[in-house]
Amino acid sequence: EAKRKGRNQTVVFRVDLLDAVSRRLQLEQALQEALNHQELEVWFQPIVDARNGKVVAMEALSRWFLDGIFVPPDEFIKIAEASGMITKLGKQVFDNVGASLADLRLNYPDLICNINLSVRQFRDSNLEEDIVDCATKYQLPSSAIHLELTESMIATSETEILPTMCALVDKGYKFHLDDFGTGYSSLERLRNLPFDTLKVDRSFITPLGKGDDVMVRNIINIGNELGMSLIAEGVETETEVHKLLQLGCWDIQGYYFARPMPLAKLKLWLAENQTQIAQQTFTQQKHT
Ligand code: C2E
Ligand code: MG
Ligand code: MG
Ligand code: MG
């Protein structure tokens, strides 16, 4: 009896494993196809200055609908990174963002777009060249594109990233530290890296609703001390907005203001809200 149970459990375990592996393999193949046919989309989520409703920037977020079904970016970006397809995906994102931003800037000349980057793009491709080529092709100044790196990337791959990052900073590109507070980087390291902005991770925003502001308060202090700008991510409620304004963080990204949306919908949103675009502010950075 025990033996039979044991054997059954083994079988069940193997089937589960096979399912996960085969889903991954199927998705990997399908992603390759989707990239070959340029089927991925880029959606845009506005970042709003809650003091005056002006749009500070928007974040480009990759979207993939496989046979009409949404595949979560956290899932396919991981597959793209592990398989090396992220460099191809990244180039398509640059081209899509370049074309969309050039179009949008005809009506909104100060509009900025943030692009997420992966470590493998630094390792496997000439990232600096790809970004500069995109800006040249679509006649965009370096101030129109901001680049997002997650804190966990910095913790594990700083030396790989730093030379290209510095070269791009020299050309006028600004870097944002994404998912800040989740990646265990030391403050000393943070001080020495040329980041312009900290993006406060959503996991610290949600507790605001329960009156727990300890993480956000301290992250805002760190940002202020280092002369960096701040963006709060994943803000969904009015309470969170009010709390953040009280604590001194006004640039806000989240469902409260707008969800990520395709270009056509973004144009309608901008028009309907008679949106004004914020002028870029120049932060005093203390990094050496
Ligand atoms: P991220 O860069 O931290 O992007 C913010 C994520 O929060 C997005 O998830 C966005 O849709 C979601 N979000 C925004 N506001 C809210 C809110 O109020 N509530 C909730 N619950 N979520 C909110 P998404 O689009 O699923 O993307 C997940 C991650 O995938 C991104 O996190 C980023 O790390 C990665 N990613 C997406 N597109 C790209 C890309 O083109 N290249 C690379 N390298 N990574 C990408
Ligand atoms: Mg991001
Ligand atoms: Mg983030
Ligand atoms: Mg994230």
How far away, in angstroms, is 206 Cα from ligand 2 center? Answer: 17
Q: What is the ipTM of this complex?
A: 0.98
The helix (run of H) or strand (run of E) holding residue 142 is: none
Whether 141 contacts 111, CB under 8 Å: no
pLDDT tens by residue, the chain, 288 residues: 444 444 455 545 565 666 888 889 999 999 999 999 999 999 999 999 999 999 999 999 999 999 999 999 999 999 999 999 999 999 999 999 999 999 999 999 999 999 999 999 999 989 999 999 999 999 999 999 999 999 888 888 999 999 999 999 999 999 999 999 887 777 888 888 999 999 999 999 999 999 999 999 999 999 999 999 999 999 999 999 999 999 999 999 999 999 999 999 999 999 998 778 898 765 544 444
Q: Scanning the structure block, which residue is given the tokens 């144009």? A: 267
User: Is the four-CA dihedral 115, 116, 119, 124 of positive or negative sign?
Assistant: negative
CB neighbour class for 284 (10 Å; exposed up to 12, middle 13-18, buried from 19):
exposed
Integer angstrom CA distances of residue 221 from 198, 216, 233, 248: 11, 9, 17, 9
Q: How many CB atoms lie within 10 A of CB 238?
A: 9
Helix axes 151-170, 127-137, angle to 10 degrees: 60
On whether the pTM is more than 0.90, the answer is: yes
How far away, in angstroms, is 62 Cα from ligand 1 center? Answer: 8
Q: CB under 8 Å, gap of 24 or more: what pairs does 22-28 form?
A: 24/79, 27/66, 27/71, 27/75, 27/76, 27/79, 28/79, 28/83, 28/85
Residues with CB under 6 A from ligand 1: 45, 61-62, 72-74, 77, 93, 116-118, 148, 178-179, 202, 233-236, 253-255, 260
How far away, in angstroms, is 18 Cα from ligand 4 center? Answer: 28
